């Protein structure tokens, strides 16, 4: 089967953007006096809810328009991101989960299947912890989920790495470090136009949001509890750690699918949208 070129995928995503850009799709609700922006498509009290990653926003799901053109869907700008307000506050996973719940309530969504990319996977789990009755399923998209350390040495190594990361993001020349970190998320074949688009969006985030959201993600309690009744799927970049990660997910959720891409970087839903959308639709239909 011939592979669709990255450039054609990007052009297709922008062509589908007419749906994404509909004025009536854009909504605001409030949380703690601050505005939370989200996009709403379709009707009904059950929805697919897309949650972006660190320093990203709802536009990172543009290429998923074929999915939310046919299904009740919400695309959320987490606090501090996109068109949502950006107060100088602590950006914790609990705050993000409360923002997702605020959007669900405003959109009158009773039951949600969450699709979270990167940090959005951690947000998914926090939403599940806080609002379990509202969750119908989870899809983790190359996501971060905190795992309990195997021993004290592993915990100390992890803490040292995280402390260094947070310090670099809080430094005066943070943009240089953030640029290197963002660029490491792509592969050689990633289209340069897509790289520039992603890089520009992520670097536009205020420094205090970058630092606080990263701190909040790593401060989240490791996943130790289990949710055997919650269907879950995972799509991620192929890594050496994949077998262990798959086993970890299977211990904590009803893991119904686990797929790996070896031809895309971290933003695989943008680089390989047709393949990703087919797998997402398959999960939604199966669930």
Count the Cβ atoms, other than its own, within 10 Å of residue 207: 14
Q: Are 93 and 122 in contact (CB under 8 A)?
A: yes
Average pLDDT, the chain: 92
- Whether 9 shows a pLDDT value over 50: the answer reads no
- pLDDT one-digit tens code per residue, 195-212: 999 999 999 999 999 999
Single pTM value for the model: 0.92
- Whether 18 shows a pLDDT value over 50: the answer reads yes
- Distance CA(252)–CA(261), nearest Å, equals 23
Residues in a beta bridge with 48:
73, 113
Residue 59 DSSP class: G
- pLDDT one-digit tens code per residue, 43-87: 999 999 999 999 999 999 999 999 999 999 999 999 999 999 999
233-251 burial, b for 16+ CB within 10 Å, e for fewer?
Answer: bbbbbeeeeeeebeebbee
User: 111-117 and 227-237 as β-strands: parallel, antiparallel, unpaired?
Assistant: unpaired
Q: Are 57 and 81 in contact (CB under 8 A)?
A: yes
Q: Are 63 and 86 in contact (CB under 8 A)?
A: no
Give the three-class secondary structure for 260: strand
Q: Could you identify the residue written with the tokens 């989920």?
A: 145
Q: Averaged over 22-46, what is the pLDDT?
A: 94
Per-residue pLDDT, 15: 41
Tokens of residue 243, six digits: 């077998």
Q: Could you identify the residue written with the tokens 């086993």?
A: 247
Domains delineated in the chain = 6-286 (3.40.50.1820)
Residue 72 DSSP class: -
- Distance CA(116)–CA(269), nearest Å, equals 11
């Amino acid at each position: 089967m011939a592979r669709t070129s990255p450039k054609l995928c990007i052009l297709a995503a922008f062509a589908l953007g007419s749906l994404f850009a509909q004025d009536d799709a854009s909504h605001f609700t409030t949380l703690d006096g601050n505005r939370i922006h989200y996009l709403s498509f379709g009707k009904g009290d059950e929805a697919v809810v897309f949650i972006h990653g660190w320093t990203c926003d709802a536009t990172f799901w543009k290429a998923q328009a074929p999915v939310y053109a046919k299904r009740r869907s919400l695309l959320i700008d987490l606090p501090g991101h996109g068109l949502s307000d950006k107060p100088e506050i602590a950006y914790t996973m609990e705050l993000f989960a409360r923002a997702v719940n605020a959007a669900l309530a405003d959109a009158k969504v009773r039951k949600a299947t969450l699709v979270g990319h990167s940090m959005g996977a951690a947000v998914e789990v926090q939403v599940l912890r806080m609002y379990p009755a509202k969750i119908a399923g989870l899809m983790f998209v190359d996501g971060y989920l905190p795992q309990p350390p195997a021993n004290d040495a592993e915990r100390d190594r992890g803490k040292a790495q995280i402390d260094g990361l947070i310090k670099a993001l809080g430094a005066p020349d943070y943009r240089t470090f953030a640029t290197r970190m963002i660029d490491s998320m792509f592969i050689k074949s990633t289209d340069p136009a897509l790289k520039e688009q992603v890089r520009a969006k992520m670097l536009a985030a205020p420094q205090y949001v970058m630092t606080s959201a990263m701190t909040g993600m790593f401060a989240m309690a490791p996943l130790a509890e289990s949710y055997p009744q919650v269907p879950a799927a995972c799509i991620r970049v192929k890594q050496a750690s994949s077998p262990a990660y798959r086993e970890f997910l299977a211990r904590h959720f009803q893991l119904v699918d686990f797929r790996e891409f070896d031809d895309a970087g971290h933003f695989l839903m943008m680089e390989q949208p047709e393949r990703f959308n087919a797998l997402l639709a398959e999960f939604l239909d199966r669930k």
